[in-house]
Chain A
Amino acid sequence: MRSASFIWNVCKSSFTFGLIGLTVSDRFASVVPVRGLSMAPTFNPPNNSSSFGLFTDDHVLVEKRCLTDYKFSHGDVVVFCSPRNYKERQIKRITGMPGDWISVPFSYDAVKIPEGHCWVEGDNPTDSLDSRSFGPQIPLGLIRGRVTHILWPPQRVQKIDKKLPRSGLSF
């Protein structure tokens, strides 16, 4: 029965490491691939190769310690659940915090961001259709983590800076 006890030991250790890994990725940090071009050139910059497989996508470090007090600021890149479909996760940059006034594009309205919400936008200048489609104002509770570093591919390992992508949208 040596093989049975060996398999049992393997099961026990993998279960333990699964529990520990799940806890660490929920509470401290996890690594996620970035798909899509809405955050070019910060993530997935356009290059000559035409294949965008999982291997060539940027993988980033998402830290979860910020979820204890929800203290975000302008320019943070965050991962959040899409308000249209809670199963999808999206990565965008925060460009407005509660109390800011944002001018709605293509109209003369100005909207004040209500308490507990924030305004997110992609870095890609031609991304205007995407970031306005779901009404980019999201409750802060939908945020699932903040992106701090790019970890893959190795030539693009760097820290993500907080920067305001372009002016003209907020007062």
Chain B
Amino acid sequence: MSLFQQWAFIVKEALDKSFLVAKFFCSVHVANTYLCSTALVQGPSMLPTFSLTNELVLLERISTRNGKAGTGDVVILQSPENPRKFVTKRIIGMEGDKITYIVDPKNSDSTETVIVPKGHVWVQGDNIYNSYDSWNFGPVPYGLLQGKVFWRIWPTSAFGSIGRRPETVDPALKQVLEQANQS
């Protein structure tokens, strides 16, 4: 084969391989953004559902994109105070719901009631004593939700699905909320 033909053959091979790599990256991006993705969660605000150490979870993006994420789902969202930070919290109320919450659970029992505005959700960590959530930054617009957490991959001892309710309800919190709801 002449030199030109050899060179053309090599160039064609290189283009094919790079096209294959580009296709692979594009499909990974589309799957991550529109279907399912992984995330690392850490921090004390979702005890006892998630422990303090790093945990790897699977999140699906279909329900948040279609508006199907509802009360009780654990979601990952962009923090309204820093768009580059992602936080994991549970949705407590959708738009139009009336939320009664304890203002400062470590110090007092006083409660406040708000109505979640249109297009927003109220998120809360399962560990109310150590969580920076809607009690601090208010209701978040639905557009900040990134995905719904539905399965835990690591640690393997806790492999399994994430439920729609917190595993335990603090009995002190339950009593105060019942009294507030009655009055």
Contact = CB atoms under 8 A, between A and B. Distances in A.
Interface of A: 16, 19-20, 22-23, 26-27, 69-70, 80-87, 114-117, 138-143
A107 to B, nearest CB: 20
Contacts of A116: 79-83
Given A81-B141, A86-B143, A142-B143, A114 B29 contact: no
A142 B26 CA distance: 24
B15 interface: no
Interface of B: 22-23, 25-27, 29-30, 33, 67, 78-84, 118-120, 140-144
Given A19-B26, A22-B30, A26-B33, A83 B83 contact: no
A27 B80 contact: no
Nearest to A16: B23
Given A81-B141, A116-B82, A141-B78, A26 B29 contact: yes
Contact of A86 (B25, B80, B83, B119): B119
A19 B19 CA distance: 12
List 10 tightest A-B contacts by C-beta distance, closest first.
A81-B143, A141-B78, A141-B83, A86-B143, A116-B81, A83-B141, A23-B26, A86-B142, A139-B80, A84-B119
B119 A83 contact: yes
B80 A141 contact: yes
Given A23-B29, A26-B29, A83-B143, A117 B80 contact: yes
A117 B78 CA distance: 12
Nearest to B64: A86
Given A20-B23, A22-B26, A114-B81, A84 B118 contact: yes
B119 A82 contact: yes
Contacts of B27: 19
Nearest to A89: B143
A83 B120 contact: yes
A70 B27 CA distance: 25
B153 to A, nearest CB: 25
Contact of B83 (A27, A70, A114): A70
Contacts of A27: 29
Given A26-B33, A82-B119, A83-B119, A19 B23 contact: yes
